[in-house]
Amino acid sequence: MQLEDYNRMGRLALERAQKARGIRSAEAYAKLLADRTGGSPSSSTYHRWLRGETPIPLWVILVAAEESQQSLDSLFAEADLPKPLTARLDQLGDQIGVLQAQMIEVRERLDLPWRSESSEDSEADSPRPRRAAP
């Protein structure tokens, strides 16, 4: 994937965030971002980003995601990722599923307790093996 592809994905994400806020005017959205960050970007900078003349900094995408109350995943979801990348993501998803299934099997065989989501720091929920009764 080339730098140009990443910049295109950033533009699509930024446009999606603007649309999610219901703001049609690029100037108005640039002002919203500038108000949020204390000065940057200017309207002309925002237009250069949308035209692909300059790369979009990561902080802009993060602020846009927060302002639109969208996750980064949702902003990039329809960014038309290149086929090799989507194939790799599918492959990784499959591998994660296999690993999760294997971990479940291992925990069941060793009779390990499951860690509670709500009490991650609780010692009672730590993934230690249970000791057999004497």
71 within 8 A of 65, measured Cβ to Cβ: yes
* 4-18 pLDDT tens trace: 888 888 898 999 999
Of 44, 48, 66, the closest CA to residue 56 belongs to: 48
pLDDT average, residue stretch 24-33? 91
Q: What is the mean pLDDT of residues 107-121?
A: 68
* List of residues 6+ apart from 85 with CB closer than 8 A: 1
pTM (predicted TM-score): 0.55
Given the structure tokens 């500038």, which residue do they identify? 34
Give every CB contact of residue 84 below 8 A, 6+ residues apart in sequence. Answer: 1
CATH class of the domain whose range is 3-76: mainly alpha
